[in-house]
Structure 1
């Protein structure tokens, strides 16, 4: 996914954080690239390092301005809105504006949530961006 890197910053006892913008939102998440990265556009892979538990850190995207991808800060969390996909072998993916993010599930998802818009509430340090070159 193409993002705009606004800046990279380091706070005491915290990982490097990237202040990023997308066409559908803005937040700060863990940066796995060069800490000296200059502002600009980067292709990145999103990773979520937290188990998904329906009803705790994942819920239907109801009343969030309609369907479509979303990204925002929610207190100490990052809120990602995307379309949830469940594969035949039970793996869960978040379709985040055409980019698939593999999700680790703590428990099986309810049967009626596949192919619906969901929001994930993930601690900022558990969401990372890894830049790559095309």
Structure 2
């Protein structure tokens, strides 16, 4: 996915946070790329390093379409949920699939639903890559 890196900030413990913008919103999340990266456009892979718990950090939303915003010290990602035959869950985030780690199986009737994930910003990672 193509994002715009606006700013990088170092936090205690060598944690780097990136303020980023996409066509559907902006947020601050963890940066796993070059710490000397300059503001500009980057292709990135999104990861979520937190177990998904339905009804707690994953909720259905009335909104349709991808979304990205900040809530307190967390990031809110809105996308469409899909379930695989083997029980894995993916979030379609504007054409990019994010594999989700589930604490418990999701209800079967949520496949295809638009959901919001509310995740602490240090648990949402961006890995830039070159095309």
Q: Same fold (TM over 0.5)?
A: yes
Aligned length: 131
Task: Give the alignment's Cα RMSD to 1 decimal.
Answer: 0.9
Unaligned runs of 5+ in 1: none
Q: Following superposition, which runs of at least 4 residues in structure 1 exceed 6 angstroms of deviation?
A: none
Counterpart Cα distance in 2 of 1:102 and 1:119: 14
Aligned to 2:19: 19
Q: SS of the counterpart of 2:91?
A: strand
- Give runs of aligned pairs for residues 88-127 of structure 1, distance below 5 A: 88-127=85-124
Counterpart Cα distance in 2 of 1:39 and 1:70: 21
Q: SS of the counterpart of 2:30?
A: strand
- Describe the superposition over 1:91-116 as per-residue Cα deviations: whole angstroms up to 9, x where unpaired: 10000000000000000001111001
Aligned to 2:35: 35
Aligned to 1:53: 53
1:77 to 69, 74, 78: 74
CA shift at 1:14, angstroms? 6.0
Counterpart Cα distance in 1 of 2:104 and 2:14: 29
TM-score of the aligned structures, taking structure 1 as reference length: 0.95
Counterpart Cα distance in 2 of 1:84 and 1:32: 25
Unaligned runs of 5+ in 2: none
